Amino acid sequence: MGSTDFNQTADDQSTLADTLSPNYVYWRERGEEWADEYDSRKKVQLHYHIQELMLADYFTHSAPARVLEYGCGGGRHLSYLSKIPNLEVYGYDQSQTMVTNCLRWTSQAWLEQHVTVGPPVGKLPYPDQHFDIVFTVEVLIHISPADLEFVLAELLRISRWQILHIEPSLFFKVVTEEHQGCWNHDLISIYHKTGYRCELLSTGFEIHSPYRVVLSEERKTYSWSPVTLALLRRQEQDIQPTLNQVGLLNKQLAAEQAQRQALTDQLAAEQAQKQALTDQLAAEQAQKQALTGQLAAEEAQKQALADQLAGEQEANRKLSAQLDTFERQLAGILQTDGGETLSDSTQ
């Protein structure tokens, strides 16, 4: 069973997303981050583990069967259900970014053969009664009420034995604004409107309830042991409060680490600023030193010129003195020569 839509491009999804409701667009745009989100949540929320134990037990006792998970996402359930003997496991999802996370635990070839990506609302690409069991886990909560009846009708069409839902319990308060749209549907009433009986099964944890629609009585359906479910609920009651405290401590620690990192970054920024100011001061001091050196050189040059001028003035003074002496001597000579000439003329 190939997945003809798996290789659609990001542009294809973006174009389709323009026509989709925000609750569907969210999972197309943010799906890739949810593999890590689930891993993080499973460390402090026990119900994810109980949920997986219940499903593994249910499908082990329901094999052989061909099974489709509608809204398989990153394959959190496909990854372990695919290891159950005599169970053919397939998945369908509307978010390629979520489905890509399957490559963390399986191959591209398996993914293309077992998982199909398609529109969130529309005719599913499978023949009538193609699967023995179709199931959803925390998926219908993200389907808007206007689309739910059509989606359920398609699940009914492609299933021949039973449909299993693990969805929020009716008493669970859903935050409608979360993920651009969440709803807690009354599945029993909705199936009743379409002529099908939806039974509420006993659960092993608090916030979710199993719902089942049996379409064929040819095979006996499996039900969880009341003793096992009671033990699972006791585990949740005994362990979850401690995990809640761990979760709060983790959040507090993360907040403190974030604050510490912010202070570290602030200190680094201040140190960088201080270093920049130090470098600027050093540059200014170097420039000042260079100007001081230049001024000293100019002063030395000025002094040299002053000394040269003084020397020239002294030379001029001496020359003037020599010239004065020479002129006096010449005048004396001329005066002597003139007296002698006048005496000779008188005689």
What pLDDT does residue 344 have?
A: 58
Residue 173 placed within a domain = yes
Chain position carrying tokens 């963390």: 104
- Classify residue 234: in a domain, yes or no: no
In a domain, 116, yes or no: yes
pTM for the predicted model, two decimal places = 0.73
Instruction: Give the CATH number of the domain where residue 153 resides.
Output: 3.40.50.150
The answer to whether residue 300 sits within a structural domain is: no
Residue 124: inside a domain, yes or no? yes
Q: Which residue, chain included where needed, has tokens 């003997």?
A: 85
- 84 SS3 class: coil
Task: Report helix, strand or coil for 173.
Answer: coil
CB 205 within 8 A of CB 51: yes
Whether the per-residue pLDDT at 80 is higher than 60: the answer is: yes
Residue 197 backbone phi and psi in degrees, to 5: -95, 120
In the chain, how many domains are there? Answer: 1
**H helical segments located in 47-140:** 47-60, 78-81, 96-99, 108-114
User: Looking at the domain assignment, is residue 259 inside a domain?
Assistant: no
Element spanning 136, H or E: strand 131-137
Buried b (16+ CB within 10 A) or exposed e, 99-133: bbbbeebeeeebbeebbbbbebbeebebeeebbbb
| Alpha carbons 161 and 222: distance in angstroms, whole number | 12
Q: What is the DSSP letter of 221?
A: P
pLDDT at position 148 is: 95
In a domain, 344, yes or no: no
- Is residue 345 scored above 70 in pLDDT? no
Within a domain: residue 239? no
User: What distance in Å separates the CA atoms of residue 312 and residue 265, rounded to the nearest whole number?
Assistant: 69
What pLDDT is stored for residue 2 in this prediction? 47
pLDDT at position 11 is 47
Domain limits for position 114 = 10-224
Distance of CA 306 to the CA centre of its chain: 75
- The reported pLDDT for the residue numbered 64 is 98
- 278 band by pLDDT with thresholds 50, 70 and 90: very high
Tens of pLDDT, residue by residue over 1-54, are: 544 444 344 444 444 445 788 989 998 999 899 999 999 999 999 999 999 999
**The two structure tokens encoding residue 131:** 């699967």
